[in-house]
Amino acid sequence: MNNLKLPPLFKALRPGQWIKNLLLFAAIIFNGKLFDPIFLLRSIEGFIVFCAISSASYLLNDIIDEPFDKKHPKKKFRPIASGMFPKSRAFEIIILLTILGFVAAFAIRVNFFFITVGFFALHVLYSFYLKRFAILDILAIALSFVLRAFAGEVLTGLHLPVWLMFTVVFLSLFIAASKRRSEFTHEGTRTRTSLKHYHEKMLDFYVSTFATASIVTYAMFTFIEGTLKFPKSEARLLTPLLLQYAPHILERKWLMITVPFVIIGIMRYAQLIYERSLGQEPERLITSDMPLVLTVLGWGLSIILILYVI
């Protein structure tokens, strides 16, 4: 592999998609352990493992999709589809990354190893089978996001609130449905078999349903789970009668302040899907569209301030 140029190899690994693996940090962020060195290090280790495994799965997918990618206006420039990266070398990298990823996962934690194997198996099934079938392809994409969040729980032993996990599920479905909606509009059925079994109104229904469910479940999370208590010094200012009959008034639900960011983010994402058909690559969209970037940064900053400063 010494004669292999780095740029084609690096591009073939799709490092831009590693941003999806940041979901592994959700468990420590929402449990107030982001700055705990033990939990942070464990999450970073898991992140690296998932980056290796996901890159292996992307290489496998590109090998299988080579005939379709050559017909795609953008994907035809991918290293494997364009011939810049030999398939024989790609198989070598897949084997290497898979072995290293599984060994590292087992060394970190046995349960995490099983999640990692399941994550890779899902991608293999998707590449060979699931992506050909309508609905199953969307569910598989969404499940890969959910497994990332669950892997973060298994890594650390910390659990995400139920309503937040629901948000992850529905937001994943929203992103997956949006991806298919953009592909349907921009490419038709030429480059993906499953698109032949979708209809425009069906995809619009999926997008709107999952968008609504994402907002509702996140709002429920901020209201039910995102509760901070008044300090005792402030509580003394309230009358004993109020303390007895309306204890819920002592609760500060600061996380509800973050709901508008989620609403604005989903609205902007939908706008980009329907106006510009830009949902084919969610990871690039989230990091390149300035209004969306600012919304995500605003949400993240407000989460950190509320959970770690206030």
Report d(CA 228, CA 310) in Å as an integer. Answer: 9
Model pLDDT for residues 190-221, shown as the tens digit of each residue: 666 777 778 889 999 999 999 999 999 999 99
Model pLDDT for residues 229-270, shown as the tens digit of each residue: 444 444 444 445 444 544 444 445 789 999 999 999 999 999
Q: Which of 179, 64, 180, 58 is nearest to 123 (CA)?
A: 58
Q: Indicate the pLDDT class of residue 226, thresholds 50, 70 and 90.
A: low
Domain boundaries, the chain: 9-159, 161-310
Q: Indicate the pLDDT class of residue 189, thresholds 50, 70 and 90.
A: low
Model pLDDT for residues 114-165, shown as the tens digit of each residue: 999 999 999 999 999 998 888 999 999 999 999 999 999 999 999 999 999 9
Q: What is the C-alpha R_g of the chain?
A: 22
The pLDDT assigned to 67 comes to: 78
Report d(CA 118, CA 53) in Å as an integer. Answer: 11
Report d(CA 83, CA 163) in Å as an integer. Answer: 46
Tokens of 1: 């592999």
Can you give the pTM of this predicted structure?
Answer: 0.86
Amino acid at residue number 125:
L
- Alpha helices, DSSP H only, in 157-258? 162-187, 200-220, 232-235, 240-245
Q: Which of 218, 305, 222 is nearest to 32 (CA)?
A: 305
The yes/no answer on whether domain 9-159 falls in CATH 3.40.50.150 is: no
